[in-house]
Structure 1
Amino acid sequence: MPDRSARRVCALVLGLAVLAHAPALWGGFVYDDFNDVVRNPSAQAGQFFQRLPQMARPLLKASYALQDALHGPNPFGFHAVNLALHLVATALVLALVRRAATLAGTPELAALRLAALTAALWAVHPASAETVSYVSGRSAGLSGVLSLAALWAATGPRPWPVAAFLSAALAPLARETALIVPLLLLAWQLCLPAPGGLRRAVPVWLGALAAALLLAALPRHQDLVAFSLTLRDPADALRGNLFAVTEMLRLWFQPWRISAVPAQPVIYGWTDLPTLLRLAALAGAALAALRLRRRAPLVALAVLWTLLALAPANSLIWRLDPVAVRPLYLAGIGLALLVACALVRVRAGPVLGAMLAAALALGLAAMTFQRAGLYADAVALFADAAAKTPGEARPLVLLGLVQANAGDAAAARATLRRALALDPANAEARNALRLLEAGPPIYSPLTP
């Protein structure tokens, strides 16, 4: 009976995820998709093996090249694979949280309910649309599935060392941030009784080490690290990422603010009060989680998971756009577990509590349905981003480019002039406006 109930609950959660993300299936290629997938020689079947030594994220490119061989540049096929990966990840989240709750001493039925709520909140959160609806978001989806599979293989009553090793080794080849998986497993083992002890972690650590050595040997990854270090040194990057992380956490808890081009934060000096407050808050959260790991193991795991999952992209390495939605895909599992733990503790009675949880999940699903639909129209996608960040020039520049590529030159001129009014030194807006005035069509990465 419990297994039958678990299958029904899993089917219900997966069905809700399908409904929330369904509009993405009819979306096209937008933004980076053209350079990363459609026109990228590394993502094309005929050139994949030739370019393998020079590419980044070889497993990700292999998935693109395989689909190119099967059906060519058909966006429906790429979106369908993204959605399928998300559904597999959702099932793994449900199974892992159920296992964690059981290890923490939660009764079987309560553990299943907590797992279902966590998986549902995560699967239909608008932050996941960046990974599911956006073809280039596959790096987070593919690495997420493999990361969760490695944890599943390493934490069960029966060990699966080969599966744990292979999953941990392959995940960073889709997205480098998956190198954090061994530390996620360590957080699990710190907070929960770990069958098999540290021996279970050995295949995961060896897999991540093998991936790290391979990535370090690839010239493209060396170039990316070197470029990041030219932007900011590690200490300066850490200071900036304190603001990026807190802004990303705000986006998750305020999902109506999520956009394709999130606003970037103002960054203060090390001794300024905003910096010190953020440093104290993040360090305090980590220390509190470590102290609570025996009394409230699931809460502690949720906090540690969130901080660790955000660390690879938002600690010592600086990115051109430090505030992004995609890193919230893996980190959002911890946040969803934290919210689910809070909801099950609400003293409102089981019926009212279930109604509150259902209302939250359905509300998030409705927002995700709306966001997924934006990816079917690049103009609508960037108009939404410009409306949510009215003081930022970059969303207006991107909106102007897609308006020009859609043939609406008058709207593109007006939008690009608005961008220049906000940022007179913006060279991209000025060049695009010059091309529009000259007459030839705009060419940009957004052009099909």
Structure 2
Amino acid sequence: MCKVFVIDNEKRSLNPIHPAQARQLLKRGKAAVFRRFPFTIVVKESYTDATVSPLRLKFDPGAKYTGIALVNDVNGEVVFAAELKHRGFAIRDALTSRRQLRRSRRSRKTRYRQPRFFNRTRPQGWLAPSLQSRVENIKTWVNRLRKVAPITAISQELVKFDTQLIRHPDIQGKEYQQGTLAGFETRQYFLEKWNRECAYCGIKDVPLQIEHIHPKSKGGSNSITNLTLSCEKCNLKKGTQDIKNFLKKDKSRLEKILALTKKSLADAAAVNTTRFALLEVLKSTGLPVEIGSGGLTKFNRTQQGLNKSHWLDACCVGASTPILKIKGIRLLLITANGHGTRQSCRTDKYGFPIRHCSRTKFHFGFQTGDIVKAVVTKGKKIGTYIGRIATRATGSFNISTVQGLIQGISHKYCKTIHKKDGYAYAI
């Protein structure tokens, strides 16, 4: 079970405690809730504990999800685990839409507005906003967790597989492609892409061969988009047949294979582009940073018989990984939603304004996205409601609860549980 973070009355991080112990402290009035996500309490009395155990913060960065774990290197206890969902692709799509709308407006028979893409300079190390957001998300959670936990070291999975570097520390340039392990990365990519099974019959746990979808004897290339995995039996049976003839009786599998061959490499590109920028961010914290490869992560995970998931991969990052204690862990799911939009008005699909957008962010001390508890004592909607609110200038708010949307709740009944911080949470 994930433990509860504890800080003293001077905001110094202490050893995380069991949730039952935290409930007792809160019930007796010896502590108060400091933060809901991650759940943190602050002890009211002076509290000294000379035996604070150091923790290691571990990351398994990904294009869509990043695994986060806090591990005690001494006893292997996993104190905290989370999976962070990024919004990089949403940012990319929003920027594309904005660019298309602006380009459309310039091309109409209206007052000419000169394009401004040549009057901007990019600083050294610049990343596209969709990529920079991934780095900033992780940086935010490093800073948050450092405030409530005694973190003394960080581990990051830097590369997927870099076995050539392990054998030859001075390797560089073309030697990566021409060394004794040339093609190893490609094989590992195929294993993950095709789920470690034969593309034609679906059999697993057998030796698999790289096979040309469109036969090489009939003009097929060695491109990744023309290669798949096959067991020896299917490879011999297919021979030089075209895949459409070979799978003419299994249309669903044929469509699945053809769809996978067109799978984009955007995820891999995003991780490769941001990994070193993230490493520099982690080093800037001043803590020792350990880096590991995906191969080592997989080795640690399989040695301990753990399933494949983002947070378990994070627990297994680096050579420092001890024998893990993960029984009863409750995973915190974090989704990056951003802080809203700066649009002055909403537009239709052609880019024309259709309605006004209020520029006032706060109403009666609340803003849209806050998590509140509303105890309604009179009227038609008597009851207790917990959820995120949508504010109005009139003071009549809407609350999105688990049961559904509750409309028309006065601000007078609302009490803030968690301020909007750009993230959504689920257990």
TM-score > 0.5 by shorter chain: no
Q: Where is the strand percentage greater, Structure 1 or Structure 2? A: 2
Using the size of structure 1 for normalisation, the TM-score is: 0.23
Using the size of structure 2 for normalisation, the TM-score is: 0.23
**Greater Rg by CA:** 2
Q: Where is the helix percentage greater, Structure 1 or Structure 2? A: 1
